[in-house]
A and B are shown apart, each in its own frame.
Chain A
């Protein structure tokens, strides 16, 4: 049984996929997490928004997978941003330096406002 759950939410941005993530990612689920996240890069959307407000926990391997996906999107002219992490998740993001690599916003509105250039085609 997967400890995390990913739900695709509608977003008023073209070429962008919004994924709402809940649960946790640890060593037990990290391989499935990476596989699933890589799968979303095949949807054809260039930009990815990860809504983390329901995410309870993520370890360093889980964050590593997010960086792998971000690198892939970046290399293909896209982008990845993080939205609404809980304090617990935000702490991991900051300590590991992921916040230096991936923009993180408190709300989706703020993220969309700051990233109005998110591939509006």
Chain B
């Protein structure tokens, strides 16, 4: 029996985001995530793809974005990959109300929100190859065989390059 998996290719157009959110919600629901977890996954994926549209493909609506989601050992893994410009995520400071205002006003909260919504968020940028945000959230603790084509994520380059 094949494991549930979602693989979507979309252009870097914000007009398609609501359809992507619907697909992600349906997939997360099919894995029996709680409603709050489904909301969290939706938020995180929306912010990740929005970041790609804004930063990796600025002023372009034809850039390729791949969203892959799969179940792995009681976790839902979502990888958002693009082939555009990489960027360096900036740390978010919410220490004061003024800082909250500043961060939200400059549009720099997406990454922070992803980290709050998911158990793990990692970003890797391989120049002239691809950029990927990989997000993980724990679901019910059932033991599932991992598909061979999706190795464990590690920020280390050698394992990650196996994804190509």
Size class of the contact patch on chain A: 20 to 34
Question: Are A96 and B54 neighbours in the complex by a CB distance under 8 Å?
Answer: no
B18 interface contact, C-beta 8 A: yes
Instruction: Report the tally of A-B residue pairs with Cβ distances under 8 A.
Output: 77
B35 contact from A3, A28, A87, A101, Cβ within 8 A: A87
The CA-CA distance from A105 to B114 in the complex, in Å, is: 25
Question: Are B107 and A61 neighbours in the complex by a CB distance under 8 Å?
Answer: yes
- Per DSSP, chain B at the interface is helix
A35 interface contact, C-beta 8 A: no
Question: Are B17 and A27 neighbours in the complex by a CB distance under 8 Å?
Answer: yes
Question: Are A26 and B46 neighbours in the complex by a CB distance under 8 Å?
Answer: yes
A77 interface contact, C-beta 8 A: no
A residues in contact (CB < 8 Å) with B: 3, 24, 26-28, 57, 59-61, 63-64, 67-68, 71, 87-88, 91-92, 95-98, 100-101
Q: Separation in Å of the B92 CB from the closest CB of chain A? A: 10
B2 contacts across to A, CB distance below 8 A: none
Q: Separation in Å of the A37 CB from the closest CB of chain B? A: 13
- Per DSSP, chain A at the interface is helix
B36 interface contact, C-beta 8 A: yes
The CA-CA distance from A24 to B36 in the complex, in Å, is: 18
CB contact under 8 A between A98 and B50, given known A60-B107, A92-B113? no
The CA-CA distance from A99 to B108 in the complex, in Å, is: 17
Closest 6 CB pairs of A and B: A64-B104, A28-B14, A27-B14, A60-B109, A97-B100, A27-B50
Q: Name A95's closest neighbour in chain B (CB-CB).
A: B116
Q: Could you pull out 23 A-B pairs where Cβ atoms are within 8 angstroms?
A: A26-B18, A26-B50, A27-B50, A57-B42, A57-B46, A59-B50, A59-B110, A60-B47, A60-B110, A64-B105, A64-B109, A68-B105, A87-B36, A88-B39, A91-B39, A92-B113, A95-B113, A95-B117, A96-B104, A96-B113, A97-B94, A98-B100, A101-B101
The CA-CA distance from A28 to B61 in the complex, in Å, is: 12
Question: Are B110 and A71 neighbours in the complex by a CB distance under 8 Å?
Answer: no
Question: Are B53 and A87 neighbours in the complex by a CB distance under 8 Å?
Answer: no
B15 contacts across to A, CB distance below 8 A: 28
The CA-CA distance from A3 to B18 in the complex, in Å, is: 9
The CA-CA distance from A52 to B116 in the complex, in Å, is: 22
